[in-house]
Chain A
Amino acid sequence: MAETIVRIENLVKRYKELVALDHLNLEIKEGEVFGLLGPNGSGKTTAINCLLSLLKYDKGKIQVFGRPMEPDTYESKRNIGVVMQNVAVFEELTVYENIDYFCGLYVTSKAERKNMVEEAIDFVGLQEFRKFYPKKLSGGLLRRLNIACGIAHRPRLIIMDEPTVAVDPQSRNKILEGILKLNSQGATIIYTSHYMEEVEQICSRIAIMDKGQVIALGTKEELKKMIKEGETIQVDLMELSEEALTEIGKMPHVYSAVYEDNLLTVRCSGGRHNVIRILNYLQEQGVSFGQVYTKLPTLNDIFLEITGKELRD
């Protein structure tokens, strides 16, 4: 069984009246790409800052690599890579110098560091930009530099706090591919985001946060099983009688059927052949239909069902 790398127990963090973290509990195993998903203000970054021992907290325990995490737990810190939400680099240092600076805070051997820096530059694809100053880099390249500064020392645990904010799709894909590559090389990743697609794409386990609490935790599949909605079917129809709509609503696995603006929306709680059954019925009734869409539940649907609000609200 994989070793627990991070253990957070009953973590409480208050900003005066506001409870930013409300008895947060998390356990992250070695080798995971662990996603922390939640809307802005849900407590993801606060949790990360407490984990990194940057923030004081009111209550709770944090252990990293089996040791309590404190500001001067240098042995643990040496094995952690951090990619902050905001790009944190020196404007006056080149790409190479920035990476070397941060790597040098973890690795003292100059020769060893040289290889690490070169590898990090290759990894994020900044070979052509090594002598560039950050202000000459585009937003995407800057984010890649930010990542290189966080991973150059080959950490066992990499914490990435919304590393793709304001990044173009091409750079975003590169970053996500890179994260999976780092994971395949043995690094455990904690990835926070409010982009559910990203989290779905790369995370092996996901915690959905809201109001400082974990409201759902599991693999993507486990999370989707938590909600009754298994599939949403939408059909373009010119017209549909009330009677037909009631009949569709009574079909097996269907828990809601709505006809609005020439669009029939049927929500099913799982089961198979739902689309065929509905289309057959419509044909039998002589109802002509246009395009048919089916949609599997997303993390947003899960969030919506649990909290009653959209993830991006």
Chain B
Amino acid sequence: MENLELFEGSLEVEKITNGWYDKYKNSNYGAIITFIGVVRDENKIDGLSFDIYEPILNNWFNSWQEKAKELKAIVLMAHSRGDVFNHESSYIAAVCSPKRRIALELIDEFVEDFKAQAPIWKYDIINGDRIYAEDRSTAIKGYGLLS
């Protein structure tokens, strides 16, 4: 699962994105698009904190890798677990594709589907407390099966 990397705490953005670029720049991908998520200072938070359920995240990521492969592209992702403070990065996604248009469309779909389906839970860090970000969370497709 080398194209999906999980880290404790904030992401070392330059190291991760430079690493991806160095690894794939000679693979004849004409377009490499990187999306970097940065924690905003808002709602009096000191930062965000994350729980991840890895087995289902791996399945989700693998299905995206298969989808990208059909388009001769690849997807890459890095995410934090635990605490990430304001103005640091918790999430990086990237697409490498021979074609620009495919890369642009795929990064959009990949990031949006990540938001809606990836088994990651977000908490606001406020005065040292960890508060579930319920109002910004999305129920996973098929929710309510036991209701």
- Is chain B found bound to chain A in the same assembly? no
Chain A residues with CB under 8 Å of chain B are none
